[in-house]
A and B are shown apart, each in its own frame.
Chain A
Amino acid sequence: MTNRLKTYDFKNACLFTGVIFIICSALFALCGTFIVNSITQEQELELAELSEELKSQYEEHGLDWILDDLELDDRPIWGRNESLERLDEHDNLFKVVQANRLLLGSQLSFNADDNPTWQTISFDSPQQFDVLTIRIDLGDALHVTMLQPKSYESRFIAAAIWRLYFYFISLFVVFVVCTILFIQYQNQAKLSQTKKALIEIAKAPDSTRLPVPKRASCDRDIAESINAMLDAIADLHGNMKTMSVGIAHDLKTPLSRVANRLQSMQHDINDPNLIETHLNHASNDLSAVISTFNNLVRLNSIESGQHKEKFVKLNLSELIYDLALSYLPVFEDSGRILEISTVNDVICFGDADLLSQLICNLLENALEYSNNDAHVWVRLQSHTGSALLQIGDNGPGIAKIDQPHVFERFYRADISRSKPGNGLGLSIVKAICQVHDARLDLLPEQKGAVFNIEVPTSN
């Protein structure tokens, strides 16, 4: 687990740099061409203007004026060398021709067009000249041909752009490669830290967490969300553990009793009466195991939400009242008092079978755990948009330490698991509430166990 740069880091750096190089070159080429073009266009315009001016001068004042304008006193004839010198020094060269006779100017031959045109001419010398040429017809078989080399400005700027491009690119490529490698190195360092931390977490997933950077950053967000995910998984893991311990315990007790009964049957094989007693007990114990599994299956199916498809509008008041009424003699026989007070015609959207089980489980919880002479109540009141169902008793209630856990699967306040039941009743209640979007609370600071259920209504 090292934080050294990997081969793929170098590959990535080269790739990135290559892409950036291509983009920069293209930008340079685009900008350079644009700048140089605009300068040469300017030169063309100037030459065109000059030709117009010469024409009008000739019309008004004749040829001598033009000579003045071209800063010439006499009518010189330049040979090849003189012509090239002049081209170099004065940045222009011309000749005036009348009826194929050279009146003045360069003896060099070159063609030209009526519009300014760029040409590359060598004049039989090793040097190549990029020149702008124009032919100006003055009438009377007289014409002037001019040529101008590329302006100094344009040559300078083109050269400057090339030089800038060369220096910039060579420095820039080095800089980009280094920067990318540095960033990759830092990332590798962070990654290898995270990898190390994750390996530690794998060893103790419930307690170890990723270190969270103090400064707000993307790394902190990621560390926090990974930690939150780990917490959620640890909760699930905890539930699973409680559940498997619960299942193991709930299976072990009745199964070992069955095993004991089988042994006793072997012992009492000759006594039919005893055999029957053993058989009955063994059968009851196995029923308890099956009932635990049935409840687990039911709990899972409630949680999966498949019942929602069968939800209908139903009269919650009637359902609760009828059920509570059914339980009245059961409570009476056990010495407890059941008080029923429900408002009429609370309509909700739900599954009658599930809602019945919710009420049964809470009432049976009260039967199981309240004092022998307890006062137990079922109350239903309506609000706007919801109805509040309360099922409670006046003692002894649930110990504070157990209260946060009562809805967990297989959780039982009584550690010895001496009372019947499998610790799934209240988990089923919770699942039924969830599937009905109802809010379930165990009220704190009460004398007994008081459950509040707020059911959304559709009156």
Chain B
Amino acid sequence: MKVLIVEDDFDTADFIKRGLEQNGDVAHHVGTAQQGMILATSEEFDVIIFDRLLPNMDGIDAVRILRGSNVATPIIMLTALSETVDRVSGLDAGADDYLVKPFDFSELYARLKALTRRQPLKQEALSLSIGDLVLERTARKVSRRGQALDLNPKEYQILEYLMMNPGQLVTKTMLLEKVWGFNFDPKTSLVQTHVSRLRNKVDKPFETELIKTIRGSGYILSDHD
């Protein structure tokens, strides 16, 4: 993965860069919106990390300009402002995702992966499958090893999101955002409870476990160990 980091805070940039390099990815860092825009238009990147508050220019304006000049690279915005209103304006400007500082590196990485792996085919595909697990979108039916599974709407949505990002870490916050539409963090184990119920239906009756828990981070759906 080749990542462009536009961030004026060098500590944060360094933290992200080191994390990415440890995972074998390539990271370029620039400190101003202008440099970021020049690089984003002249080089190919898999994903761009754009800070919201940059010297001389609002990150939102920079993203709007990039989208205006047909740069289609996925963009994730970082901000210290945790507000829905800002989140919405960031997404309106053309960013693909939005993350509030301070964040966990695994959270950022999971989101970067989700952005780069999101192939158009997966979005539109009529059916998704992992190993012997099949999800049919038109009929909203899920089956494993040919055996139909009875999922409630939330369980179905969780599984659908996990299957759209196979082998990738999906965090609790991502599920809260995508499945429940929450931009805040409920204290209790809402996500854990639903995932555990989902696992009881998807994994428990079968030998191989598909939904794996990464403690403190989230879940990975994969048919490999």
Contact = CB atoms under 8 A, between A and B. Distances in A.
Judge: A and B partners, yes or no: yes
Interface of A: 280, 283-284, 290-291, 294, 297-298, 301, 306-307, 309-310, 325-327, 329-330, 333, 351-354, 356-357, 360-361, 364, 367-368, 420-421, 425
Nearest to A287: B104
Interface stretch (B24-32, B69-77, B178-186): B178-186
Nearest to B88: A310
Contacts of B84: 307, 310, 351, 353-354
A280 B214 CA distance: 13
Q: Is the interface of A mostly helix, strand, loop or mixed?
A: helix
A421 B187 contact: yes
Contact of B194 (A294, A326, A425): A326
B190 A326 contact: yes
Interface string B65-94: 000000000000000011111001000000
Contacts of A354: 84
B182 to A, nearest CB: 6
A356 B181 contact: yes
Nearest to B184: A357
Given A306-B85, A353-B84, A364 B188 contact: yes
B190 A310 contact: no
Q: Is the interface of B mostly helix, strand, loop or mixed?
A: loop
Interface of B: 81-85, 88, 100, 102, 152, 154, 180-190, 193-194, 197, 216
B216 A280 contact: yes
A146 B225 CA distance: 142
Contacts of B194: 326, 329
Given A329-B194, A330-B193, A356-B181, A364 B85 contact: no
A289 to B, nearest CB: 10
23 contacts: A280-B216, A294-B100, A294-B185, A307-B85, A309-B85, A310-B84, A310-B85, A310-B88, A326-B190, A329-B193, A329-B194, A330-B190, A351-B84, A352-B181, A353-B181, A353-B183, A356-B182, A356-B184, A357-B184, A361-B186, A364-B187, A368-B187, A425-B187
A356 B84 CA distance: 13
Nearest to A351: B84
A307 B84 CA distance: 8
- Counting chain B CB atoms within 10 Å of each CB, which of A310, A327, A330, A425 scores highest? A330
Contacts of A306: 83, 85
A325 B190 CA distance: 11
Nearest to B186: A360
Contacts of A357: 182, 184, 186
A367 B181 contact: no
Nearest to A360: B186
Nearest to A326: B154
A310 B84 CA distance: 10
A367 B216 contact: no
A294 B85 CA distance: 15
Contacts of A307: 84-85
A148 B165 CA distance: 124
Nearest to A301: B83
Nearest to B197: A329
Contacts of A309: 85
Contacts of A425: 187
- Counting chain B CB atoms within 10 Å of each CB, which of A309, A360, A425 scores highest? A360
Contacts of A294: 82, 100, 185
Nearest to A327: B190
B216 A283 contact: yes
Contacts of A333: 193
Contacts of A325: 152, 154
